[in-house]
Amino acid sequence: MAPKKLNTALATAVVLFTLYLGASFALPLATTFPGLPHWPADDTGFSIVKGSREIAMGLAMGVLLVTGHRRPLGWVLLMVAVAPFGDMVNVLAHHGSTAAALGIHGLTSALIAATGLLILRETRKTA
């Protein structure tokens, strides 16, 4: 598979998973947050905030992807990687599962950042 096609497939997977995750929290289909020992039991709006954040990020990346704005997509992917990194820190700070923090949120952050870097590398200007 050519690098551009692989990068596009990775970016598409990130966009689709982000939209799925957002919908699962916003609807709310999610009953837990991976790694946190306690899910807010009352109606704090936590799931709506989490879901709307994910949907907004997914839509931003999706628009850049479908309109062919690849370099901005690479930069946005790098910025979006901060969200699962923050989730990882949140889980660790609240004495959640270290395995979930690193294996779910940390790995997700690394994969999104790697996808962004691959797209930026693909689109760099050579002299």
Return mean pLDDT, the chain.
90
Q: Tell me how far apart the alpha carbons of residues 127 and 123 are, in angstroms, rounded to a whole number.
A: 13
Per mean pLDDT, which of 29-38, 47-56, 71-80, 116-125 is the most reliable?
71-80
Q: Is the pLDDT of residue 49 over 90?
A: no
Q: Is the peptide bond before 3 cis (omega within 30 degrees of 0)?
A: no
Q: What is the predicted pLDDT for the residue at 39?
A: 65
Positive or negative: CA dihedral 111, 58, 77, 4: positive
Whether 37 has a pLDDT exceeding 80, the answer reads no
Per-residue pLDDT at 25: 83
Instruction: Kindly give the interhelix angle for 107-123 and 3-26, rounded to the nearest 10 degrees.
Output: 140
Q: Are 75 and 122 in contact (CB under 8 A)?
A: no
Predicted TM-score (pTM) of the model is 0.87
- At 99 the pLDDT is 94
Q: Within the chain, how many helices (H) and strands (E) appear?
A: 6, 0
Tell me the per-residue pLDDT of 53-96, one tens digit each, with 9 for 90 and over: 999 999 999 999 999 999 999 999 999 999 999 999 999 999 99
Total residues belonging to the chain: 127
14-25 confidence digits (pLDDT tens) = 999 999 999 988
